[in-house]
């Protein structure tokens, strides 16, 4: 049987078809629901996605911009490539991406209580200390796993954690980069890129370099956010002032309500000037498990 060209204009023929990967989705598999959140990238929607004949509740990141924009597709595919390898209770699961036409979609696990920063603003004052400690444990567990898998997240913060039944899941891998070992650095090349200055380590501010230890510094900021109910880090300072103060050695003091072991993690293990002297996320997680292990087992049983 003679093959027909895929378009009349070019006359091109498909000689060998490339099979679709399980994470490559078609837009008609996704039915969008209500808008959950909105940002510069676009919006996040509740959705139903049909996979292997089953309808699954999902969260869909719908990107602004044209599907033919190569830079957008490159960044989204990088995020999907990183996420699809991971399976961990404290990491948001990726179902797939749809890039065949506008709008580009990233389809993820639905985490019903939403972003941690919004959750803390609404409910933080009513959470007990042990519940906030469990959040610290979960985030440490997720970051330890990412670093073990060779991933620098580069955007650790309350806004990039999601909450479900008091369980924390790390999300948003748009800035993440994979490395071959924990000593490797990622050097930022686009110096005009908008960055989360209030969460960055001093070496990143000075040299535009990222390592797993810069994630550790950002984890210290996350601890502060958890016990301050998602207040803005370095509140009262401008971005320029934060940049200069952190490079000059200033560190935020721990909140008074923060337990002493968590204060130690934040101030002694995370906020050290020299990244090589910071503990790894594996060491921090082990320390927290030794201090609060029973709390982590409680949340896993929920």
172 among the known binding-site residues?
Answer: yes
Q: What is the 3-state secondary structure (H, E, C) of the chain?
A: CCCCCCCCCCCCCCCCCCCCCCCECCHHHEEEEEEEEEECCEEEEEEEEEECCEEEEEEEEEECCCCCCHHHHHHHHHHHHHHCCCCCCCECCEEEEECCCCCCEEEEECCCCCEHHHHHHHHHHHCCHHHHHHHHHHHHHHHHHHHHCCEECCCCCHHHEEEECCEEEECCCCCCEECCCCCCCEECCCCCCCCCHHHCCHHHHHHCEECHHHHHHHHHHHHHHHHCCCCCCCCCCCHHHHHHHHHCCCCCCCCCCCCHHHHHHHHHHHCCCCHHHCCCHHHHHHHHHHHHHHHHHHHHCC
Residue 297's alpha-carbon distances to 137, 172, 195, 282, 291, in angstroms, are 10, 26, 35, 17, 12
Active site residue 155: yes
Identified catalytic residue from 155, 215, 229, 301 = 155
Known binding residues for ATP: 159
List binding-site positions.
159-160, 172
Annotated binding site for Mg(2+): 160, 172
As annotated, the active-site residues are 155
């Amino acid at each position: 049987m003679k093959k027909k060209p895929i378009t009349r204009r070019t006359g091109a023929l498909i000689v060998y078809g490339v099979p679709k990967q399980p994470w490559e989705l078609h837009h008609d598999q996704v039915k969008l629901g209500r808008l959950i959140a909105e940002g510069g990238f676009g919006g996040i929607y509740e959705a139903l996605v049909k996979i292997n004949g089953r309808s699954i509740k999902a969260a869909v990141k719908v990107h602004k911009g044209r599907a033919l924009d190569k830079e957008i597709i490159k960044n989204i595919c990088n995020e999907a490539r990183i996420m699809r390898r991971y399976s961990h209770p404290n990491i948001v699961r990726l179902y797939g991406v749809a890039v065949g036409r506008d709008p580009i979609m990233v389809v993820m696990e639905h985490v019903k209580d939403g972003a941690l920063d919004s959750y803390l603003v609404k409910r933080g004052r009513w959470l007990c200390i042990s519940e906030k400690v469990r959040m610290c444990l979960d985030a440490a567990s997720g970051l330890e796993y990412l670093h073990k898998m060779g991933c620098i997240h580069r955007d650790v913060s309350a806004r990039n954690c999601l909450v479900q039944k008091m369980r924390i899941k790390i999300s948003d891998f748009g800035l993440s980069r994979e490395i071959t070992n924990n000593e490797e650095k990622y050097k930022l090349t686009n110096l005009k890129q908008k960055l989360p200055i209030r969460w960055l380590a001093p070496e990143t501010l000075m040299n535009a370099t990222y390592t797993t230890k810069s994630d550790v510094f950002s984890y210290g900021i996350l601890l502060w956010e958890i016990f301050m109910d998602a207040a803005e880090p370095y509140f009262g300072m401008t971005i320029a002032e934060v940049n200069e103060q952190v490079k000059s050695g200033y560190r935020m003091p721990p909140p008074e309500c923060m337990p002493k072991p968590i204060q130690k993690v934040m101030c002694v293990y995370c906020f050290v000037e020299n990244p090589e002297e910071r503990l790894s996320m594996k060491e921090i997680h082990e320390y927290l498990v030794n201090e609060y292990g029973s709390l982590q087992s409680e949340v896993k049983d929920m």
